Amino acid sequence: MKGLVVTAVTAGLLWLNFGFTQENPTKEELGKKLFFDTILSEDRTISCASCHKPELAFADTLSFSLGVHGIPTERNTPSAMNLAGRLQLFWDGRASSLEMQALGPIASPTEMNLPIAEAVSRLRGDAYYSKAFRKLYRSDVTEKQLAEVLAAYERTLETSQTPYDRYINGDDSAMTPAAVRGRNLFIGKANCANCHSGEDFTADRYKNIGLYDGKTLTDPGRFGIVRDSSYLGHFKVPGLRNVAVTPPYMHNGMFKTLRDVIQYYNHPDRFVKNPVNRDLSLDAPLNLSDAEVADLEAFLHALTDDRFRKQ
Would you say 286 and 266 are in contact if contact means Cβ atoms under 8 Å apart? yes
Residue 267, marked binder: no
Q: Quick one: which of 238, 264, 249 has its CA closest to 60?
A: 249
The residue length of the chain stands at 311
Would the annotation count 51 as a binding residue? yes
Q: Is 192 annotated as a binding residue?
A: yes
Count the Cβ atoms, other than its own, within 10 Å of residue 168.
Answer: 13
- Crossing angle (nearest 10°) for helices 116-125 and 143-154: 90
Q: Is position 195 annotated in a ligand binding site?
A: yes
What single DSSP character describes residue 160?
-
The count of C-alpha atoms lying within 13 angstroms of the C-alpha of 306, restricted to the half-sphere facing its C-beta, is 13
Q: Does a cis peptide bond (omega within 30 degrees of 0) precede residue 54? A: no
301 annotated ligand binder = no
Q: Does the annotation place 196 within a ligand binding site? A: yes
The region that residue 233 occupies, defined by phi over 0 for left and psi between -120 and 50 for alpha, beta otherwise, is left
Binding residues: 48, 51-52, 192, 195-196
Annotated binding site for heme c: 48, 51-52, 192, 195-196
